[in-house]
Amino acid sequence: MERLTDMDIFYFYSEHLDNPCATVINEKKHTIRPFYEKLATEALKIMTNPYAKSLLEKKIGECL
């Protein structure tokens, strides 16, 4: 099985952090962005490409 590159990981989480799944409950929009923030933060621990890691850190910071 082919391993994802660190840039693949960045692109995956970047897309989901920018456009998380959402639903409307009682006229209020709820997303699963916090879930993706947690997973992306965990992914940083295994990333070795400093450029991709830096990009993901910045993307996570934009969400806070």
pLDDT in tens, 6-60: 999 999 999 999 999 999 999 999 999 999 999 999 999 999 999 999 999 999 9
Q: What's phi and psi for 22, nearest 5 deg?
A: -145, 160
Q: Structure pTM?
A: 0.87
Range of the domain at 51: 6-63
Task: Please report whether residue 1 resides in a domain.
Answer: no
Q: What angle do CA 23, 27, 33 make, to 5 degrees?
A: 35
Q: What's phi and psi for 24, nearest 5 deg?
A: -110, 125
Task: Please report whether residue 49 resides in a domain.
Answer: yes
How many structural domains are present in the chain?
1
